[in-house]
Each structure stands twice: as C-alpha cells, then as structure tokens.
Amino acid sequence: MEPQLKLIGTVRSPLKSRADCPKQADEGAPDAWIEIAPEFAVALEGLRAGESVLIFTWLHEGRRDTLKVRPRGNMNEPLRGVFATRSPDRPNPIGLHVVRLLEIEPPCRIHVESLEALDGTPVIDIKPSLAPKSGF
Amino acid sequence: MEPQLKLIGTVRSPLKSRADCPKQADEGAPDAWIEIAPEFAVALEGLRAGESVLIFTWLHEGRRDTLKVRPRGNMNEPLRGVFATRSPDRPNPIGLHVVRLLEIEPPCRIHVESLEALDGTPVIDIKPSLAPKSGF
C-alpha cells in the first residue's frame, strides 16, 4: 500500500519561509486563506463560518527520512523519535491544525484563523472538529 | 504534487468489517494493537504508556470519489459536503483517532485504547496529543 494523496487545496499565507513559522498556532500564526481545487468545492457544502475545523496539510518541506529529532530544535534536549514529537520532519509529513473558520467565499476559498503553515502548503483534508469531550 | 504515503504500521483489531465499526470511539470501539513496520520502530522512542496520542490511519475502504454524503448514513439528513463530515468516504480517506497508549511492546508493537479502525487498516502517522487548551 502506497496510496497517492490528492491535492484538495493550497494555503495562501503571509508566512513565506520555514524560519517565519511559529512552532504552534498559539505562538502568533497569522490568519490565512485556503484555495480549494475547483473539483472539490462541492465537498465544502455544510461548513459554516464560526465553526472549528481540522485542516490537514502536507508539510512539503519536511524531511521524510528523519526518524529522530531534538524537540523544537533545542540542542539541550535529547534525541527523540519523531512519533513522540510534532516535528514536520517525519515519514509522512502530515500537519494537523485546529482553526476557526472565519469566512467562506464561494465557490472555493475559505478564510481561517491562526494557521501555522507556509504559503503554498498543500491541503489534503478538512474535517469538522468534534465536541471538546472527544479530545479534539 | 501527488505524494505517496509510506505505510508506517498496521492496525490489529477485533473489528473485521466496516459494519462492525462504531461511528466514533466513545460508542464502544475495542482496544487494538498497532504493528509498526520495523524500519520505523526507532521513531517510537520517547512515547510512554498512559500518554494520549493521535493515530492517523488510511481508511482504505473509503470511496475516494465521494464528495457528498448523508451524515452517519441517515436518510433523513440532507446531503452534505464530505469536508463538513467525518465520513470515511472522501478524497483522501485519512482517519484521526485520539487514543490512550496502554502499552509499548518493543521493538514495534503498541497497544491503544478504544480504536475505531478495522483490522488491517494502514497507519500513516502518530503524534503526541497537545494540552487540552490547544483543542486536540
């Protein structure tokens, strides 16, 4: 099994390089637009501004051959397996972002709050966030 | 961009068919094992039993050409875009599961609580869950 991902959209953000990116959204990520590929616009129906959604990205600058890292790049930390970290360097560099939907601009642009992803980052899925009791 | 996913592990579960699967973990999913592919075992280092982790799966029985569904298969509900649902039928059928790590059996098996995924489901990523204030 080595399925191929479909590109469902692209991040449009003021973050232009990995050095600009905060490590997590609560450290000051900017609002961003996501341009959905036209063939998938119909799959947005039912999303509402104000909702919390999960954005799945493909962190295309991540190194897929990295299996251990120092958390947050801190040289005082011991090496740790990437599955015990949120590093973008990992076998499948999937990013997960919980964001509030600010605006839906038909047919295929959505505006989201505080997205820590580079301009041009591929988007691979969007799901509604579940109630807090479910943990995400 | 159409990157290929790497298989990092496989679910071993008593859930043998899609009809057996609860819609969400809190509706009675069984505990399951995940067999990590040996080449990725080193990436588990640093995970600890008792932690909450995010398991990303590839819902290989999902229909990738489905763009609208009736939520939870309920015929009384209007059709909705798949990005406004958690349906396994979607362009990239990525499953996201928040589970507690029960046990780590070196070198490459982990036991997790309440996983709503079929036996044989490919696992594509594992990340630590963040603090509740971050929303997942």
The secondary structure of B2-38 as a DSSP string is: -PBPP--EEEE-S--SGGG--SSGGGTPPPEEEEE-G
A6 with B96: Cβ contact below 8 A:
no
Give A-chain residues touching B46 at CB under 8 angstroms. Answer: 80-81, 83-85
Q: What DSSP character marks residue A28?
A: T
pLDDT value at position B20?
A: 78
Do A111 and A101 meet the contact criterion of CB atoms below 8 Å apart?
A: yes
Residue among A5, A86, A128 whose CB faces B127 most closely:
A86
Chains A, B: CB contacts under 8 A, how many?
175
Q: Which of A47, A92, A98 sits opposite B84 (nearest CB)?
A: A47
CA distance A110 to A87: 26
Query: What is the rounded CA–CA span in Å between residue B74 and residue B56?
Result: 26
d(CA A40, CA B67): 7
Do the Cβ atoms of B36 and B110 come closer than 8 Å? yes
> Which residues does chain A have within 8 Å of residue B24's beta carbon, measured at their own beta carbons?
130, 134
**Using one digit for the tens of pLDDT, what is the confidence trace for A67-101?**
999 987 788 989 999 999 999 999 999 999 999 99
User: What's the pLDDT score for residue A5?
Assistant: 97
Angle, CA of A84, A86 and A90, to the nearest 5°:
80
* B52/A130: higher pLDDT: B52
Query: Residue B91's pLDDT is what?
Result: 98
Mean pLDDT by 10 residues, chain B (136 residues): 91 89 71 98 96 96 96 87 96 97 96 96 94 46
